[in-house]
Amino acid sequence: MKVCIAEKPSVAKDIANTIGATQRKDGYYEGNGYQVTWTYGHLCTLKEPKDYVEDWKYWNLRYLPMVPSRFGVKVIEDEGIQRQFHIVKRLLTKATEIINCGDAGQEGEVIQRWVFLKAQTKAPIKRLWISSLTEEAIKEGFANLKEGNQFNNLYAAGSARAIGDWLLGINATRLFTKKFALQRQVLSIGRVQTPTLAMIVNRTLEIDNFKPQDYWELRTVYRDTEFNSVLGKIKKKEKAEYALSKIKEEPFEITSFEQKEGKEKPPRLFDLTALQVEANKKRGYSADQTLKLIQNLYEKKLVTYPRVDTTYLPDDVYPKVPGILKNLGYYQELTAPLLEKKLPKSKQVFNNKKVTDHHAIIPTGVKLSGVTPDEQRVYDMVTRRFIAVFYPDCKVSNTTVLGEVLKLEFKATGKQILSPGWRVVYQKDDSKSKGKKEKLMPVFEKGEKGPHEPRIDQKQTSPPKPYTEATLLRAMETAGKNVEDEEARELMKDNGIGRPSTRANIIETLFRRRYIERSGKSIVATHTGIDLIQVIDNETLKSPELTGDWERKLRLIEKGEYQPAQFKQELIEMVVELTNEVLFNKQQKVIRILDDTQKEEKDKPKKKRAKTKKVEITELSCPSCKKEGFLEGKKAYGCAHYKEGCKFVIPFKFMGKKLTNKQLNDLITKGKTTKIKGFQKPGSEDKVDGKLELTDDFNVTLNTD
């Protein structure tokens, strides 16, 4: 029996229907010599620290750095996942051939390989490698199955990425939490997360510390056209006024009038990051929201595989383009002119060298149905971009006029669209965004003179603009460098922070941990995020360029040009160096991480600070150091022996719930409370009930079982 293993039940169903495995069983489909099962995404994960060494379950500095001699994989500890794994394992161990039908990318390869590893499979493995889930694509993929070992380098890169994230994330998080956190909260550090946060923190601080400066600009109006002085920003008002007084009564003379015809090429096809940027600009969608919408469209067979970082198509897609255009019925008015003649084959669209595993995101030509309004909007972006690349260039006329008064130069520029070309695809968008008609510049003659109306405008320098999700995604793609040119961005993709498929999750993680927050469309760092970055002295952890270099090496591993063992060793050396640097740094820093309740208190008008005093629970012994006595602080009870190094603390409030004296006593003496109602979930209006318990390392946690 041939066993096919997909990533999701919905994908497994599509594959099963296509290959004739139509009998529904418990956890799989069967028929026509095939069994088709699925993994629910990740069934397996890298082992946790406690799985290697029992003592590693404790967050203690003396156990750092934690470097397993050999990394292992385990099945995720969830009843539903464990059950599905045993079904998959039973099928795999009896298989005569295994067909890996996971998502055709790095993450999909890792998900399946870990399952094969834990199931101890021995059957030969084939790989289904397709760019869409249409019936035609699945049939073509099964007719051209690839050998599983062709993707060993892809798995090696994904495995190295996961191990690297484990090594740095777990060690650095425990290191900084135990060394610097005053409160009993986690300071999360990550290989991609931390440099991304550093970029946002640096931008936030630049804006906060920005001091505006006045400057003046000299302008003049001649024949209803505004000219700007080449002096640019004039820092002294007296200088601007002096220049104005000199030219006021003198005539304005045209010294040059130049009109050049130019061309604007169609925008490139979408990769995932470009689509997320466009959706954020046009619709205000978050990166995570766009990823979910385009993934849904992929699973509904409407677009090709979305988690890509290329804007090109391979040559073999070219013959299929007319068929796709013909099936885009809703866009017939735009596609009809294209189908009347042979389609152009531009190098900006078709380039085999620029395509590796997958090509740019394009529509499949399947009839649009069963989509939500948001999915339809994203589909429209992808489809219009696909249509636009086959339209001719937009022809424009660029005008540059130079003039002078007493040898002081002025300049005016203008643009006129002569032939819209690809812009007709976006005419509705253009008409909405323009708001007013484009004003045409008059024709000037060199040497003509006449009166003009000069003036000086007072302005102020502006701070840098805060990141939006669109500009943050671009910054991650270029490792923090400001790059506008599309060609340059293409060259820098190998050195970007994270991958297109992971960037949305990184941003959402920073929001979830309250290191960043939204202010309208802007993204700004919170006090917590700023404190965390400022406490990290190690520049490697914060550097987008160095993180980008790690990403480049991971891509080289994928190409077979760099050894995974070398990448792992470099990260081990970094973790060891970082641990020694932090543990033996004489400058002690402590940061205070605020939860939601504390933030609310912080924002209230300040009251006089109450003196620390002893309270009813002073006679109890501390669960951590076993010594007697507690002190009442401003927001929490803490061990009276804090000066001797004990950091045991219990907050007055936990998840919005004020604790009674009995509950505090129970928590200290018994290690848990009775059931308490009404805890507030962070970032949600939902409330949950549960018991508070002390963990092995004496943190307070909520048990909702």
Mean predicted confidence (pLDDT) in 500-506 = 90
C-alpha–C-alpha distance, residues 180 and 590, integer Å: 5
Per residue in 141-177, pLDDT tens? 999 999 999 999 999 999 999 999 999 999 999 999 9
C-alpha–C-alpha distance, residues 686 and 520, integer Å: 24
Question: Which residues carry out catalysis?
Answer: 305
Q: Which residues contact 347 (CB under 8 A, 6 or more apart)?
A: none
* pLDDT of amino acid 665: 78
Task: Say which CATH topology domain 179-209+483-583 has.
Answer: Topoisomerase I; domain 2 (1.10.460)
Domain borders along the chain are 2-144, 179-209+483-583, 214-265+394-460, 272-388, 596-703
Q: What is 2-144's CATH number, 3.30.450.20, 3.40.50.140, 1.10.540.10, 3.40.190.10?
A: 3.40.50.140
Least confident range from 21-25, 101-105, 168-172: namely 101-105
Reported as a pLDDT band with limits 50, 70 and 90, residue 25 is: very high
Judged by DSSP in three states, 357 sits in: coil
Residue 99 backbone dihedrals phi, psi, to 5 degrees: -115, 110
Reported as a pLDDT band with limits 50, 70 and 90, residue 605 is: very low
Mean predicted confidence (pLDDT) in 340-358 = 89
Structural tokens at position 49: 């620290």
> What residue has token string 């061309």?
263
Reported as a pLDDT band with limits 50, 70 and 90, residue 616 is: very low
Q: Which residue has the higher pLDDT, 698 or 201?
A: 201
Judged by DSSP in three states, 377 sits in: helix
C-alpha–C-alpha distance, residues 270 and 388, integer Å: 12
Reported as a pLDDT band with limits 50, 70 and 90, residue 184 is: low
Q: What is 214-265+394-460's CATH number, 2.70.20.10, 3.40.50.720, 3.90.1420.10, 3.40.50.300?
A: 2.70.20.10
Selection from 180, 148, 191, 161 nearest residue 61 by Cα:
180
Q: Which residues pair with 638 in a beta bridge?
A: 631, 649
Peptide bond into 65 cis (omega under 30): yes
Judged by DSSP in three states, 689 sits in: strand
Per residue in 541-600, pLDDT tens? 898 888 888 888 998 999 999 999 999 999 999 999 999 988 876 444 444 443 433 444
**Which CATH code for domain 272-388?**
1.10.290.10
Mean of pLDDT over the chain? 88
The pTM (predicted TM-score) of the whole model is: 0.77
Cα angle 234-237-239, degrees, rounded to a multiple of 5: 70
Least confident range from 172-181, 339-348, 494-503: namely 494-503
Per residue in 245-258, pLDDT tens? 999 999 999 999 99
Per residue in 255-281, pLDDT tens? 999 999 999 999 999 999 999 999 999
